[in-house]
Amino acid sequence: MALDRQQQDFAKKLARLSLDAGGQIDPARVDAVLSSLRGRSPRVQRALLKAYLRHMQVEDRRGRLLVEHAGNATSSDLDALRNRLEKKYNRALILEARENPTLIAGLRASVGDDIYESSLSHRLAALETALA
């Protein structure tokens, strides 16, 4: 069953209600939202749950900061980056750091669909494109 616009908006509001004051997913709030959906008909319930899941996946990505770095990255540098991005996005971010030697030097940070890149491989690719 496809949801109409009003039901899609309802699923989005349910996803927002599942977040705490810091913008992170709160398991207790998720339980409350899921309990409130139990009284609906199975067809509507299934469609609403699918839409709710999609919105929750988006919220989960928006609450994570993935930092890929080449070489060593100190925890103080990563914490400073996280603090700056938390202020920008006005929400708490969960930091995940990974080493990525293909970057050659520098780093790539992503929050949701936003990507911030300051790596040597990115600059070399831009230079190659400009010269081609």
> pLDDT tens for residues 77-114?
899 999 999 999 988 899 999 998 888 888 899 999 99
Please state, in angstroms and as integers, the Cα–Cα distance from residue 87 to each residue in 33, 58, 96, 112, 114, following that order: 28, 20, 18, 15, 15
> pLDDT tens for residues 14-67?
999 999 888 888 999 999 988 888 877 787 788 888 999 999 999 898 889 999
Spatial CB neighbours of 11, under 8 Å, sequence gap ≥ 6: 3, 48, 51, 52, 54, 55
Domain ranges, ordered by start, for the chain: 5-61, 64-131
pTM comes to 0.71
